[in-house]
Chain A
C-alpha cells in the first residue's frame, strides 16, 4: 500500500514491562527510520535500516532498546523493562532513498508507561 502502517496505535505498559512496536513500510521502500517524540516536542532520531541491515543507529539508547527489520515481516522496535521516560509517540518513516527528502511517515504509536 501507499501508507506506512504502524501498530498498535496506543500501547500502555507498566514500568518494567516490555513494549514492542511494529512498522510496515511502503512496498518497495528500502529504508526505514524510527523517531521518538516526547511530550509533543521535537522528534529524536533513533535508528534507520536499509532493508534488513542497520544503516544508522547513532540515536538508539545503549540499553533496553532494540530494533529489527526482517524479510517479509514488519519492522519492530522493542523496549525491554520500560521506564516512565519512555512514554512518547514513536514514529516510523519509510523511503526509497537514504536521503531525507523521500520520507513518508506513519501515524505513530503512542506508548504510555505507567
Chain B
C-alpha cells in the first residue's frame, strides 16, 4: 500500500523552461512534506519543504504547492537548469500517531534538463 505516489517515473524539460513534478498522498495524517534531490551514488539532499498549514512555500527557483483537499503537492523549478537533472523524491511525515518522526517516500521522478 503506497501512501506517497509519484506517478511519473521520468520527465524531460528544456533548459530555461519550467519543471513541474507531482506527488499524491493517501494518508490524511501526513502534515509535513519534503522534496529531496538525489544524484547517483549519493544520499538524498533536502530541497524544500512545506507544512500542512501552508499552501505554498518558495525558495529561489523552487516552489512547492500543497493542495490538502486533493492530497496533492507539486514542485516547480523555474527556470530549469542542466544541474537540476537528478531524481526527485517526495516524502511525507506525520507528527502524531503511527509513522510519526519517520519519512514515507515516493518512488521518485527522474528529471532530465536538456541544454
Whether, in the assembled complex, A91 has its beta carbon less than 8 Å from a beta carbon of chain B, the answer is yes
Question: What sequence of 0s and 1s flags, for each residue 74-115 of chain B, a beta carbon within 8 Å of any chain A beta carbon?
Answer: 000000000000010101010100110111111110000000
Minimum CB distance partner of A98 in chain B: B101
Q: Which of A66-74, A76-84, A99-107 lies at the binding interface?
A: A99-107
Residues of A contacting B104 with CB < 8 Å?
A: 42, 45
A101 touches B49 (CB 8 A): yes
Most buried by A among B2, B103, B106, B108: B103
Residues of B contacting A41 with CB < 8 Å?
A: 107-108
B100 CB to closest chain A CB (Å) equals 8
B4 touches A42 (CB 8 A): yes
A91 touches B43 (CB 8 A): yes
B105 touches A42 (CB 8 A): yes
Residues of A contacting B91 with CB < 8 Å?
A: 43, 100
Minimum CB distance partner of B98 in chain A: A58
**Which residues of A come within 8 Å of B, CB atoms?**
4, 33, 35, 40-43, 45, 48, 55-56, 58-59, 91, 93, 98-101, 103-108
Besides A45-B103, A99-B95, A100-B32, 9 new A-B residue pairs in contact (Cβ under 8 A), listed by A number: A42-B4, A42-B108, A43-B105, A45-B104, A56-B101, A100-B91, A100-B101, A107-B42, A108-B42
Chain A to chain B: the 7 pairs with minimum beta-carbon distance, closest first: A105-B43, A45-B102, A43-B105, A100-B93, A42-B105, A42-B107, A107-B43
List 27 interface pairs A-B (beta carbons < 8 Å), by A numbering.
A35-B105, A40-B87, A42-B89, A42-B106, A42-B107, A42-B108, A43-B44, A43-B89, A43-B103, A45-B102, A45-B104, A55-B101, A58-B102, A99-B32, A99-B93, A99-B101, A100-B34, A100-B91, A100-B93, A100-B103, A101-B34, A101-B46, A104-B46, A105-B43, A107-B41, A107-B43, A108-B41
